[in-house]
């Protein structure tokens, strides 16, 4: 429900739910609840893995537990940064704030994709 609602708000058209989306969302909820410690989602490209399991799941979890932390790794730094920007934009969205009753979101740090260097 969250993914569908936010997809419409961000993209302006209805997200078409497929049969494989519910099992993915259910598995991610089990991860969030601590019932599943490791999860591999192994489906072909363009099947909404990133939309569901990265962008929306991380944003949803942050709305539920604001101090939770995630590490998002990818084969490409540019892809990881792009996904992080999408997450940041989603949590700053008015609809997201309405869902999670967030009145002020601290998102001042720019996402640059650069790691801090050790001194």
Structural domain contains residue 78:
yes
Residue 84 lies in a domain: yes
- Asked whether the whole model's pTM tops 0.95, one would answer no
pLDDT band, residue 105 (cuts 50/70/90): very low
3-state secondary structure the chain: CHHHHHHHHHHCCCCCCCCCHHHHHHHHHHHHCCCCCCCCCCCCCCCCHHHHHHHHHHHHHHHHCCCCCCCCCCCCHHHHHHHHHHHHHHHCCHHHHHHHCCCCCCCCCCCCCCCCCCC
CA atoms within 13 A on the CB side of 39: 20
Query: Distance between CA atoms of 27 and 86, rounded to whole angstroms?
Result: 22
Q: Would the pLDDT of 117 be above 80? A: no
pLDDT in tens, 73-100: 889 999 999 999 999 999 999 999 999 9
- At 101 the pLDDT is 81
In a domain, 107, yes or no: no
Count of domains in the chain? Answer: 1
> Is the CB of residue 81 less than 8 Å from the CB of residue 115?
no
Is residue 117 assigned to a domain? no
- Residue 112 inside a domain? The answer is no
Range of the domain at 39: 2-100
User: What pLDDT digit, counting tens, does each position of 11-57 carry?
Assistant: 888 888 899 999 999 999 999 999 999 999 999 999 999 999 999 99
């Amino acid at each position: 429900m969250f993914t569908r609602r936010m997809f419409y708000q961000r993209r302006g058209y209805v997200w078409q739910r497929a049969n494989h989306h519910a099992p993915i969302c259910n598995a991610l909820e089990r991860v969030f609840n601590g019932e599943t410690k490791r999860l591999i989602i192994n489906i072909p490209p363009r099947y909404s893995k990133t939309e569901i399991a990265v962008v929306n799941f991380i944003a949803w979890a942050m709305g539920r537990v604001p101090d939770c932390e995630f590490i998002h790794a990818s084969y490409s730094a540019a892809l990881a940064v792009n996904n992080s920007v999408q997450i940041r934009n989603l949590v700053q969205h008015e609809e997201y704030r309405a869902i999670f009753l967030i009145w002020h979101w601290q998102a001042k740090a720019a996402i640059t994709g650069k790691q801090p260097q050790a001194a």
